[in-house]
Chain A
Protein backbone atom coordinates (compact mmCIF):
# COMPACT_ATOMS: atom_id res chain seq x y z
CA UNK A 1 0.00 0.00 0.00
CA UNK A 2 1.70 3.13 -1.20
CA UNK A 3 -1.02 5.56 -0.17
CA UNK A 4 -2.88 8.02 -2.37
CA UNK A 5 -0.83 9.29 -5.29
CA UNK A 6 -1.43 12.32 -7.47
CA UNK A 7 0.11 13.34 -10.76
CA UNK A 8 1.52 15.68 -11.71
CA UNK A 9 2.74 17.25 -8.48
CA UNK A 10 3.09 20.63 -10.13
CA UNK A 11 1.45 22.10 -13.21
CA UNK A 12 2.09 25.50 -14.74
CA UNK A 13 -0.22 26.53 -17.52
CA UNK A 14 -1.31 29.60 -19.39
CA UNK A 15 -4.73 31.10 -18.95
CA UNK A 16 -7.27 29.52 -21.26
CA UNK A 17 -5.58 26.13 -21.47
CA UNK A 18 -7.17 22.89 -20.27
CA UNK A 19 -5.51 20.83 -17.54
CA UNK A 20 -6.14 17.33 -16.22
CA UNK A 21 -4.98 15.87 -12.92
CA UNK A 22 -4.90 12.23 -11.96
CA UNK A 23 -5.50 10.60 -8.58
CA UNK A 24 -4.79 6.97 -7.71
CA UNK A 25 -6.50 6.04 -4.42
CA UNK A 26 -5.53 3.33 -1.98
CA UNK A 27 -6.41 0.17 -3.85
CA UNK A 28 -9.29 -1.19 -1.76
CA UNK A 29 -10.91 2.17 -1.11
CA UNK A 30 -14.33 2.65 -2.66
CA UNK A 31 -14.71 6.38 -2.02
CA UNK A 32 -12.65 9.08 -3.69
CA UNK A 33 -12.83 12.80 -2.97
CA UNK A 34 -11.46 15.96 -4.57
CA UNK A 35 -10.71 19.14 -2.62
CA UNK A 36 -9.14 22.49 -3.48
CA UNK A 37 -6.87 24.38 -1.10
CA UNK A 38 -5.88 27.99 -1.68
CA UNK A 39 -3.06 29.70 0.16
CA UNK A 40 -3.82 30.26 3.82
CA UNK A 41 -7.12 28.40 3.71
CA UNK A 42 -8.37 24.98 4.63
CA UNK A 43 -9.29 22.47 1.93
CA UNK A 44 -12.62 23.04 0.21
CA UNK A 45 -14.69 20.06 -0.91
CA UNK A 46 -15.38 19.76 -4.64
CA UNK A 47 -16.85 16.34 -5.40
CA UNK A 48 -16.78 12.67 -4.48
CA UNK A 49 -17.30 9.22 -5.93
CA UNK A 50 -18.49 5.96 -4.49
CA UNK A 51 -16.97 3.39 -6.82
CA UNK A 52 -17.60 4.81 -10.29
CA UNK A 53 -20.69 6.83 -9.35
CA UNK A 54 -20.25 10.56 -8.78
CA UNK A 55 -22.63 11.14 -5.88
CA UNK A 56 -22.01 14.80 -5.19
CA UNK A 57 -20.91 17.40 -7.69
CA UNK A 58 -22.86 20.49 -6.76
CA UNK A 59 -19.76 21.92 -5.07
CA UNK A 60 -17.69 21.95 -8.24
CA UNK A 61 -16.73 25.56 -8.68
CA UNK A 62 -18.10 26.05 -12.18
CA UNK A 63 -19.04 24.09 -15.27
CA UNK A 64 -15.39 24.35 -16.33
CA UNK A 65 -14.62 21.73 -13.68
CA UNK A 66 -15.40 18.06 -14.24
CA UNK A 67 -14.29 14.79 -12.69
CA UNK A 68 -14.46 11.16 -13.70
CA UNK A 69 -13.76 7.80 -12.15
CA UNK A 70 -14.55 5.50 -15.06
CA UNK A 71 -13.73 2.10 -13.59
CA UNK A 72 -14.03 2.90 -9.93
CA UNK A 73 -10.28 3.02 -9.50
CA UNK A 74 -8.29 6.14 -10.48
CA UNK A 75 -9.94 9.49 -11.02
CA UNK A 76 -9.25 12.54 -13.14
CA UNK A 77 -10.13 16.17 -12.49
CA UNK A 78 -10.24 18.43 -15.54
CA UNK A 79 -10.36 22.19 -15.62
CA UNK A 80 -11.22 23.73 -18.96
CA UNK A 81 -10.29 27.26 -20.03
CA UNK A 82 -8.23 27.85 -16.91
CA UNK A 83 -8.29 31.22 -15.18
CA UNK A 84 -5.76 32.78 -12.82
CA UNK A 85 -8.21 32.27 -9.98
CA UNK A 86 -7.92 28.51 -10.48
CA UNK A 87 -4.36 28.60 -9.11
CA UNK A 88 -4.44 26.39 -6.02
CA UNK A 89 -3.49 23.02 -4.59
CA UNK A 90 -5.86 20.26 -5.71
CA UNK A 91 -6.09 17.44 -3.20
CA UNK A 92 -7.42 13.95 -3.62
CA UNK A 93 -8.46 11.68 -0.77
CA UNK A 94 -9.85 8.18 -0.51
CA UNK A 95 -11.65 6.15 2.13
CA UNK A 96 -13.19 2.74 2.67
CA UNK A 97 -16.88 3.00 3.40
CA UNK A 98 -18.29 -0.03 5.19
CA UNK A 99 -21.52 1.62 6.17
CA UNK A 100 -19.92 3.38 9.14
CA UNK A 101 -21.35 6.70 8.10
CA UNK A 102 -19.13 9.67 8.61
CA UNK A 103 -16.49 7.88 10.64
CA UNK A 104 -14.43 6.66 7.72
CA UNK A 105 -10.95 8.19 7.71
CA UNK A 106 -10.06 10.02 4.54
CA UNK A 107 -6.46 9.51 3.43
CA UNK A 108 -5.03 12.41 1.47
CA UNK A 109 -2.58 12.51 -1.37
CA UNK A 110 0.24 15.06 -1.64
CA UNK A 111 -1.74 17.28 -4.00
CA UNK A 112 -1.20 18.86 -7.38
CA UNK A 113 -0.17 22.50 -7.30
CA UNK A 114 -1.65 24.41 -10.24
CA UNK A 115 -0.27 27.77 -11.31
CA UNK A 116 -2.15 29.63 -14.03
CA UNK A 117 -0.15 32.42 -15.64
Chain B
Protein backbone atom coordinates (compact mmCIF):
# COMPACT_ATOMS: atom_id res chain seq x y z
CA UNK B 1 0.00 0.00 0.00
CA UNK B 2 1.10 3.55 -0.64
CA UNK B 3 0.28 6.81 1.05
CA UNK B 4 1.19 10.46 0.60
CA UNK B 5 1.26 13.16 3.22
CA UNK B 6 1.33 16.84 2.45
CA UNK B 7 2.07 18.46 5.76
CA UNK B 8 0.76 21.93 4.98
CA UNK B 9 -2.82 22.45 3.84
CA UNK B 10 -2.22 26.14 3.15
CA UNK B 11 0.93 28.14 2.50
CA UNK B 12 0.59 31.93 2.32
CA UNK B 13 3.60 33.73 0.89
CA UNK B 14 4.43 37.14 -0.48
CA UNK B 15 5.22 37.64 -4.14
CA UNK B 16 8.89 37.06 -5.07
CA UNK B 17 9.54 35.13 -1.86
CA UNK B 18 10.81 31.53 -1.94
CA UNK B 19 8.47 28.68 -1.14
CA UNK B 20 8.67 24.99 -0.26
CA UNK B 21 5.68 22.65 -0.35
CA UNK B 22 6.37 19.49 1.55
CA UNK B 23 5.50 15.95 0.48
CA UNK B 24 6.33 12.66 2.19
CA UNK B 25 5.31 9.25 0.98
CA UNK B 26 5.35 5.68 2.18
CA UNK B 27 5.55 2.63 0.00
CA UNK B 28 6.86 -0.91 0.20
CA UNK B 29 7.97 -0.84 -3.44
CA UNK B 30 9.75 1.54 -5.74
CA UNK B 31 7.65 4.50 -6.73
CA UNK B 32 7.33 7.17 -9.32
CA UNK B 33 6.56 10.64 -7.95
CA UNK B 34 4.54 13.48 -9.38
CA UNK B 35 3.43 17.01 -8.60
CA UNK B 36 0.15 18.15 -10.12
CA UNK B 37 -1.20 21.71 -10.03
CA UNK B 38 -4.83 22.78 -10.09
CA UNK B 39 -5.42 26.43 -10.93
CA UNK B 40 -8.76 27.96 -9.91
CA UNK B 41 -11.61 26.51 -11.96
CA UNK B 42 -9.27 24.32 -14.01
CA UNK B 43 -8.40 20.63 -14.15
CA UNK B 44 -5.29 18.96 -12.77
CA UNK B 45 -2.12 19.51 -14.78
CA UNK B 46 1.18 17.71 -14.41
CA UNK B 47 3.86 20.05 -13.08
CA UNK B 48 6.83 17.66 -12.89
CA UNK B 49 7.69 14.03 -12.27
CA UNK B 50 10.48 11.83 -11.02
CA UNK B 51 10.89 8.46 -12.71
CA UNK B 52 14.58 7.65 -12.42
CA UNK B 53 18.00 9.20 -12.86
CA UNK B 54 18.77 12.63 -11.46
CA UNK B 55 16.95 13.17 -8.19
CA UNK B 56 16.37 16.85 -8.99
CA UNK B 57 13.64 17.52 -11.51
CA UNK B 58 12.46 20.86 -12.86
CA UNK B 59 9.37 22.30 -14.47
CA UNK B 60 9.21 24.87 -17.23
CA UNK B 61 7.85 27.57 -14.92
CA UNK B 62 10.66 27.54 -12.37
CA UNK B 63 9.52 24.90 -9.88
CA UNK B 64 11.82 22.07 -8.88
CA UNK B 65 11.50 19.01 -6.69
CA UNK B 66 14.09 16.68 -5.24
CA UNK B 67 13.56 12.99 -4.63
CA UNK B 68 15.09 11.94 -1.32
CA UNK B 69 14.80 8.21 -0.89
CA UNK B 70 16.23 8.06 2.61
CA UNK B 71 13.73 10.62 3.87
CA UNK B 72 10.94 9.40 1.56
CA UNK B 73 10.29 12.97 0.50
CA UNK B 74 9.63 14.85 -2.72
CA UNK B 75 9.40 18.49 -1.67
CA UNK B 76 8.50 21.15 -4.23
CA UNK B 77 10.37 24.44 -4.27
CA UNK B 78 10.47 27.70 -6.14
CA UNK B 79 13.01 30.45 -5.41
CA UNK B 80 10.66 33.32 -6.29
CA UNK B 81 6.87 32.95 -6.61
CA UNK B 82 4.43 35.05 -8.58
CA UNK B 83 0.75 35.83 -8.21
CA UNK B 84 -0.04 33.43 -11.06
CA UNK B 85 1.39 30.55 -9.01
CA UNK B 86 -1.63 30.75 -6.71
CA UNK B 87 -3.17 27.29 -6.99
CA UNK B 88 -3.65 23.95 -5.26
CA UNK B 89 -0.67 21.62 -5.51
CA UNK B 90 -0.97 17.86 -5.20
CA UNK B 91 1.82 15.36 -4.66
CA UNK B 92 1.16 11.85 -5.98
CA UNK B 93 2.87 8.47 -6.24
CA UNK B 94 2.40 5.38 -8.34
CA UNK B 95 4.13 2.04 -8.47
CA UNK B 96 5.77 0.35 -11.41
CA UNK B 97 2.46 -0.93 -12.75
CA UNK B 98 1.21 2.62 -13.03
CA UNK B 99 -2.39 1.58 -12.64
CA UNK B 100 -3.35 4.24 -10.13
CA UNK B 101 -2.12 7.47 -8.60
CA UNK B 102 -2.24 7.96 -4.84
CA UNK B 103 -2.59 11.64 -4.01
CA UNK B 104 -1.84 13.67 -0.95
CA UNK B 105 -4.44 16.01 0.48
CA UNK B 106 -3.11 19.02 -1.40
CA UNK B 107 -1.48 22.30 -0.42
CA UNK B 108 -3.10 25.60 -1.28
CA UNK B 109 -0.40 28.10 -2.24
CA UNK B 110 -1.62 31.66 -1.79
CA UNK B 111 0.71 34.30 -3.21
CA UNK B 112 0.03 37.80 -1.91
CA UNK B 113 1.21 41.06 -3.47
Contacts and interface: CB of A to CB of B under 8 A. Distances in A.
B63 interface: no
Interface string B80-104: 0000000000101011111111111
B105 A102 contact: no
Contacts of A41: 105-106
Contacts of A59: 100
Interface in A54-99: 55-56, 59, 91, 93, 95, 97
Q: Which of B32, B45, B101, B106 has the most CB of A within 10 A?
A: B101
A108 B100 contact: no
B94 A102 contact: yes
A66 B101 CA distance: 19
Given A48-B100, A56-B100, A103 B43 contact: no
Main secondary structure of the interface of B (DSSP, over half): loop
Contacts of B106: 40-42
A106 B103 CA distance: 13
A49 B73 CA distance: 30
Contact of A45 (B6, B32, B45, B101): B101
Given A42-B4, A91-B43, A105-B49, 11 more contacts: A42-B90, A43-B44, A44-B103, A45-B102, A95-B98, A100-B98, A101-B32, A101-B98, A102-B31, A102-B98, A103-B49
Closest 10 CB pairs of A and B: A42-B103, A102-B98, A108-B44, A45-B100, A102-B94, A102-B32, A103-B51, A101-B96, A110-B43, A108-B43
